[in-house]
Amino acid sequence: MYKNILLLIDCSHVDQTIVYHIKDLARIHGSRVHLFNVIHAHTMDQERIMTEQQTEYFEKFTKEFQEANIEVESSTALGEPNELVLQKASEPIWDLVAMATHGHKGISDFILGSVSDKLKHKLNKPLLLIHG
> In Å, how far are 39, 81, 108 from 88, measured between CA atoms?
14, 10, 24
User: Residue 15 maps to which CATH number?
Assistant: 3.40.50.620
Q: 79 is in which domain, residue-wise?
A: 4-131
Position 109 scores a pLDDT of: 46
The number of distinct structural domains making up the chain is 1
As to burial, measured by CB atoms within 10 angstroms (0-12 exposed, 13-18 middle, 19+ buried), residue 109 is: middle
Residue 105 pLDDT: 52
Q: How many helices (H) and strands (E) does the chain have?
A: 5, 5
d(CA 46, CA 42): 7
Q: Which pLDDT value is given to residue 127? A: 94
Backbone angles phi, psi at 98, to 5 degrees: -135, 145
> Can you tell me the mean pLDDT for 71-99?
95
Q: Model-level pTM greater than 0.85?
A: yes
pLDDT number for residue 132: 67
pLDDT tens digits for 14-32? 899 999 999 999 999 999 9
